[in-house]
Amino acid sequence: MNCHQIDYKIIGDDMQLVEVHLDPGETVIAEAGAMNYMEDGIDFETKMGDGSNPAQGFLSKLGGAVGRAFMGESIFLTHFTNRRGSGKKAVAFAAPYPGKIMPLDMKHAGGEIICQKDAFLCAALGTKLSIAFTKRFGAGLFGGEGFILEKIIGDGMAFLHAGGTIVQKQLNNETLRVDTGCLVAFTPGINYDIEFVGGLKSMFFGGEGLFLATLRGSGTVVLQSLPFSRLAERIYRNMPSQGGRRTDEGSILGTLGDIIGGKR
């Protein structure tokens, strides 16, 4: 691996963006639609593949694109390059929902990390993105992340996004059980599985479901306090009903929302 050695700055608190500073000729790759702004001198190009292997043929690129399609991601990545002859130029990226951006020096992370399929935001050119299959059928069926997790390999900077607050746990031949949606990433020394932990009473009345992600081994586990699925569920529960009556109708917040929206 010879990833570009990019500089960066994290901006903001709870709705962060990362501003990447590129020397002439340096490139950063990002998910389609993640770019927030860029300075004059930055060129961008949408490509099939992460560009980690310039000699890669079309069929290999197509195979990688199919893998990204299985993960529910766009088959294309956008490459941003500083084309100016001298001086740094900046391009910034922001995630699509509130949370934190986690800068990750892949050299210090052992060169590899496995993450949720939607956790990747951007990375230095040379970083390889691929799919990582869970080991058991149960993990894919009940884990909420399908059968596939994403593997990031490289020796440069990569940036992950998580909802709410980021929590890092160091395991030393230990076991940690978490809600499947709260898991962001883990290092290769961690074994990932889904285990049955409750009964029907817990499922229907406890709100925790029947299955939790179980992580065993030695390494780092990254968690998020607010999975997007929880945020989306709460928004959905407060949307107008089919009968036209909102769940917040008659409340102070509902009245205030009508005033702001010009309905009163």
pLDDT (tens digit, 9 = 90+) per residue, 160-206? Answer: 999 988 999 999 999 999 888 899 999 989 998 877 766 555 555 55
Is a pLDDT exceeding 60 seen at residue 122?
Answer: yes
Is a pLDDT exceeding 70 seen at residue 100?
Answer: yes
Q: So what's the pLDDT on residue 13?
A: 84
Q: What are the start-end ranges of the H helices in 159-221?
A: 200-201
Q: So what's the pLDDT on residue 221?
A: 95
pLDDT tens track for 28-42: 999 888 999 999 999
The sheet with strand 77-82 has its strands ordered as 42-47, 77-82, 27-31, 120-124, 157-163, 99-105
| Confidence (pTM) | 0.77
Fold type of domain 7-233: Double-stranded beta-helix (3.60.160)
C-beta separation of 240 from 254 below 8 A: no
Q: So what's the pLDDT on residue 250?
A: 47
Q: So what's the pLDDT on residue 200?
A: 56
Is a pLDDT exceeding 70 seen at residue 54?
Answer: no
* Residue 254: both structure tokens together: 């509902």
CA distance 206 to 198: 10
C-beta separation of 157 from 6 below 8 A: yes
- pLDDT confidence bin for 264, thresholds 50/70/90: very low
C-beta separation of 4 from 156 below 8 A: yes
Q: Which segment, 13-17, 40-44, 207-211, 246-250, is predicted with the most confidence on average?
A: 40-44
CA distance 100 to 168: 13
Is a pLDDT exceeding 60 seen at residue 249?
Answer: no
Is a pLDDT exceeding 60 seen at residue 234?
Answer: yes
Is a pLDDT exceeding 70 seen at residue 127?
Answer: yes
pLDDT tens track for 72-94: 555 688 999 999 878 999 999 99
User: Mean pLDDT score of the chain, rounded to an integer?
Assistant: 79
pLDDT tens track for 137-156: 455 555 554 556 889 999 99
CA-wise closest residue to 22 among 116, 95, 123, 152: 123
C-beta separation of 74 from 96 below 8 A: no
Q: Determine if residue 185 is left, alpha or beta; phi over 0 gives left, psi from -120 to 50 gives alpha, anything else beta.
A: beta
What is the four-CA torsion angle of 132, 163, 35, 81, rounded to 10 degrees? -50
Can you say how many angstroms the Cα of residue 59 is from the centroid of all Cα atoms in its chain?
26
Q: So what's the pLDDT on residue 206?
A: 52
Beta bridge partners of 52: none
Q: So what's the pLDDT on residue 260?
A: 47
Q: What would the mean pLDDT of 209-238 be, rounded to a whole number? A: 82
Residue 252, helix vs strand vs coil: helix
Q: So what's the pLDDT on residue 134?
A: 58
Is a pLDDT exceeding 70 seen at residue 244?
Answer: no
CA distance 159 to 157: 7
C-beta separation of 209 from 181 below 8 A: no
Q: Which amino acid is at 105?
A: D
Q: What would the mean pLDDT of 224-244 be, rounded to a whole number? A: 73
Distance from first CA to last CA of the chain, Å, rounded?
60
Is a pLDDT exceeding 80 seen at residue 44?
Answer: yes
Percent of the chain with pLDDT over 90: 42
* Residue 257: both structure tokens together: 């929302």
Q: Which amino acid is at 159?
A: F
C-beta separation of 19 from 9 below 8 A: yes
